[in-house]
Amino acid sequence: MTTFNNPFSIDRAEQLGDNLFEFFAYHKSFEGLLKHKSLIIKGGRGSGKTMFFLYHTYDNKKKEAFSKQIPFSTFLGNQELIGIHFRCNSNFVPAFQHKGIEEEEWSELFAHYLNINLSKRLVEVVIDINNNLAKNNKDKINFEIQNEVEGLFKEHSIIDSFESFLKTLTTSEIAIVNYINNTKHATRPNIIFNGYLLNILAKSIIKQKILKGKTIHIFIDEYENLLSYQQKILNTLIKHPDPVIFDVGMRNEGHKIYQTLSDTEIISAPHDFHLFNFEELTDDEYEELIIKICEKRLRRVDSLDKIQNDNFFNIKYYLGEYSIEDEVNSLIGKEDIQNLKLKIKTRIGHKKDETKILYETNDPIILRLNQVLLERGEKIETLTLELQKYYDKKTSKYSNWVHNNKMGVVFLLCREKRKKKSYYGFNTYKSVSSGIIRYFIELCESAFKNAYRNGFTFSNPRALTSDEQTNAAFYVSKYKVNDIETYTPNSIRLHRFVMLLGKIFNTLHNDKKLSEPERNHFSTEYDKLSNDSRRFIKNAILYSVLQRREKTKVKTTGISSDNNEFHLNHIYAPYFQISARRIRSIYFKPPILEGLILGDVNKATDIANAFVKDKLQSDNNQLQIEL
């Protein structure tokens, strides 16, 4: 049995190895991000932060140049910056706390560790540059800080080259790590002031001919893992680049504090840094980016190269587009059409002949929509008149009714036929992925797996079926819901909140009046929430369970001055059988939202049921919550 080479099977930048540069897709929105000012990149896990940083490191840029057989001196001359990646490992950075040591001292120790570790990485780059330059090249980087470093590391022997300096830094790194793990027994190292060693090293090398005019960038990734005092240390380095520039990648709400080591100083945009958020790309920008990313992956499939058809490198070819008509036709048969007609005929009773227009059509969307409009209390005469105008292609209320309620009607039909809603097509996957690249890749990976089980091969490529894509969307959505239970520190409460919220939205999708179709996000008066609730919401945003967005329509009702809405991540839409589109929101009064977040299971469920009952004016929509 042949092994299926799924081009979407790797979704983490850290797993791409030496060929990472082959997967990087450049986008015009990246232009000018890495300059002479710090950059803060925000976005959920998998949105592209790490990929962006890793691609721009010295190591990966060099690998890319060598893969194109570009001489090293040419490669180095073309580089505007030397990039170094530092990941704030969640298993390591918390070690710099407690153990009977005050925070002020921990601050000195962590700053010292950064000095040593980042200087070591920069020295490794310098040695690599010198090793790659021709032996007789006069432009090799000279070691010019012997006096300075020997003064800082007095306990070490002569440090007269980058190689001997690297040995000293390696020994010093081991010493600081040993100390933080054995503070009572190990010897405390001599502390080097925040950023001092790194900056004197950087100054000494960028003034030399081979690196003149270049900038040194340190990419601090997973910044949200840092403790507050550690963020202060980095904030200080961001505020005062001298000359090293610190760029930071973090999840939304990952900034715990904006203060520097000075009590009277903070960092702010645009004065101290540029801000870029992957999740705030426009719809068109996100589409362009994911198409390019998918093309990079598809071009690595050998069998597609042999076919030489550009269509097969476009993800849109495989995913196609969602069709309401096709989904409705798969749901509704001739008998269903007759039942819909009978329901309308029974509802309107014995009226004039012209009312037959409301039930004589064979269009299930119109038939089911007419039921909705009758439930809303629209007059039969009005519907008759407006539908005739709609058929005659004249200005009609039906134009808006159909446009606004068409998808809502499909959700009603799915429920009534007890069938799952379809989630397929490029635009659907784009919406479900909620602006997070990894989610889109995971959806594609699962869809291609399903297709492979049905005989798909890249030797004879075809479009993926709606069922293959829908089943993939549900599978990914389900395990993303389950993943919530691992999101500390509010995992249990956060999972319960998502279950309640998803059930609320699902019930509102089944509103027989479709008074507000496709409701899948909410607004509230954020400033009136308790500190506990605000912390909870920030934590939900940190994990991209909720996504904060500006309101699509700002209404001056006086209900709330807050211009933000909170979206339940659309990756959960298939699981809860709700829309992944950004259409309608609901408003939670602060006490209601507080109850859903902080109440015990029974109280939160009662509040959810009361909310739905009030919205639908019905006692028949009790939520069935399984926690």
Confidence bin at 560 (pLDDT 50/70/90): very low
Judged against a pLDDT cut of 80, whether residue 542 lies above it is answered with yes
Residue 476 CA to residue 439 CA, distance in Å, equals 8
Judged against a pLDDT cut of 90, whether residue 139 lies above it is answered with no
Give the torsion sign (CA, 406, 410, 415, 417): positive
Residue 562's pLDDT is what?
72
Confidence bin at 543 (pLDDT 50/70/90): very high
Confidence bin at 556 (pLDDT 50/70/90): very low
Confidence bin at 561 (pLDDT 50/70/90): very low
pLDDT (tens digit, 9 = 90+) per residue, 61-111?
999 999 999 999 999 999 999 999 999 999 899 999 999 999 999 999 999
Query: CB within 8 A of 516, min separation 6: which ones?
Result: 508, 584, 586
Q: Which residue has the tokens 């010292």?
A: 112
For the question of whether the overall pTM of this predicted structure is more than 0.75, the answer is: yes
Q: How many CB atoms lie within 10 A of CB 303?
A: 13
Compute the average pLDDT of residues 49-67: 97
pLDDT (tens digit, 9 = 90+) per residue, 182-227?
999 999 999 999 999 999 999 999 999 999 999 999 999 999 999 9
Hey, what are 456's tokens? Answer: 């798909």
Judging by beta carbons within 10 Å of its beta carbon (0-12, 13-18, 19+), is residue 134 exposed, middle or buried? Answer: exposed
Judged against a pLDDT cut of 60, whether residue 558 lies above it is answered with no
Residue 353's pLDDT is what?
79
Instruction: Spell out a b/e string for 404-443, using b for 16 or more CB atoms within 10 Å of the CB, else e.
Output: ebbbbbbbbbbebeeeebbbbbbbbbbbbbbbbbbbbbbb
Q: What single-letter amino acid sits at 613?
A: K
Compute the average pLDDT of residues 292-311: 92
